[in-house]
Each structure stands twice: as C-alpha cells, then as structure tokens.
Amino acid sequence: MKKLLLFDIDGTILNMKMGVSKNIFIDTFFDVYGQSISMEQMPRFSGNTDLQILNQMADALGLNRDIITEKVEDFWNLKLERFKQYCTEEYVHLIPGVDKLLESLKSNDEYELSLVTGNSIKNAFQKLSSYQLDRYFTDGAFGNDNSDRNLLPPIALERVNLRVGDTIFSQNNTIIIGDTNSDLLAAKTNKMKVMIIAKTEDYPTFQEQEADSLMSDFSDLDRFYNEMYRIYK
C-alpha cells in the first residue's frame, strides 16, 4: 500500500536557533501593526500555527483579532524578508538523518511526501531551502491556510490527491510525522497514524497518548522503514 507522509517542519526536519523566530515575530508585529509586545507576553510557538501565534499576540495585547487579518499579507511578506538572513546553516540545524531519509523516500515509489506545518507556506519553503530540502516537497497545508492545526491534514490530503490526479490517499494510508502534542492531536482528530520525533525521556508521555511510533531522530533509516512496516502490520 502506497503511503502519504505528512511532515511537520520545526523540530521534525530542522530546528531554528533558539529565540530567532520569536524575535522576528516581535519586530515584524511592531512594524506592521505598530504594537510592541514583550518576550514574556509571547505565546508558545511549538506546534502552534503562524496565524494562531498572531491571534494570540493580539489577545495578549487586548487587540481585536480583526486587525490581524487586515494586514496579514504584509506581515507574511515582511517576516519572510527578515527570515532570509537566518536561513543559513549557522541558524538552522537539521534533525540527524533527515536529509538522507528524504532522499531515500523520494526515490521510493511506496511513499509520497507532503507537508503539514504551522509555518506560512513561503516561510516553510524558505526554511527548507536552507539545506535545499525544499526540492523534496511541492505542496501541503500551512499555517496561513488555517489557524487550527487539526484542520490542516485534510487540506494537505486533498492537495496531494489533486496533484497525483487520483484519490489514492485517505486517512487510512496517511501518516503524520511531527514532534509535539499538536501533531499527535491533529493526527488523532483526523484518524491518521502518527510518528513522533522526541527525546527518549518524553517517550512515556507520547506512549500514553498512543503515538503509533516514536523515534529520536532519523539517523537509522532501517529503523524508520521498520517502523513504517510495523505501523501498518
């Protein structure tokens, strides 16, 4: 059975150096909306969609969320511009083995690749391009599609089916690969399988929440394929 793998980006494919993303959000928010927000007022980033982060920043400042929508395209564009200088090997670190894994998956007919990430689409491809990993992906569902991450997997599924010109992918052969509770929840909500990339000390928490597979990184490709096989046994 052919499988669709929906990859999250941050914490799953790569990590941005600590603090970079939050500072960019703070500076860009000020320039676009004219409001300053402190680091302490900033919402949690991991697992959160970009649109959700913006809405929560507005909430923290007591602003109406409507003001976000009005200038949201300006925000994405300026944020993208700012991120550019940080999309280098100095600021972006790959999860071990992910480049080899993507290369291997791309040439394997059993797998189709796509994205489900909280990043807005341009930002997603920009981050991936730091290591030319953008060439492995053409579509997905993104933080600018909806603020609710649970609604993103069906969007990605539909786009992939449209691209391949068939309806071969469904919740029955789609696996979300992520690193947070939000990825797990998005998978469970959509009755999809989920592989979580986590530190071994966090395994018990994810096991309790019935993650289908747990890996600490992708350095062991055989293990990855064994897990894929096991998930569908």
List of residues contacting Mg ion (CB under 5 A): 8, 10-11, 179
Least separation in angstroms between residue 208's CB and Mg ion is 19
Nearest residue to Mg ion, scored by beta-carbon proximity: 11
Contact 211, 194 (CB under 8 A): yes
Q: Residue 112 or residue 179: which is nearer to Mg ion going by CB?
A: 179
Least separation in angstroms between residue 117's CB and Mg ion is 7
| 50-60 and 72-84 helices, crossing angle to 10° | 110
Least separation in angstroms between residue 68's CB and Mg ion is 22
Q: Residue 80 or residue 197: which is nearer to Mg ion going by CB?
A: 197
What contacts 224, CB < 8 A, 6 or more positions away? 101, 215, 218
> Is 43 exposed, middle or buried (CB count within 10 Å of its CB: 0-12, 13-18, 19+)?
middle
Least separation in angstroms between residue 178's CB and Mg ion is 6
Contact 73, 167 (CB under 8 A): no
Q: Residue 179 or residue 212: which is nearer to Mg ion going by CB?
A: 179
CA–CA gap between residue 157 and residue 191 (Å, rounded): 13
Q: Residue 8 or residue 112: which is nearer to Mg ion going by CB?
A: 8
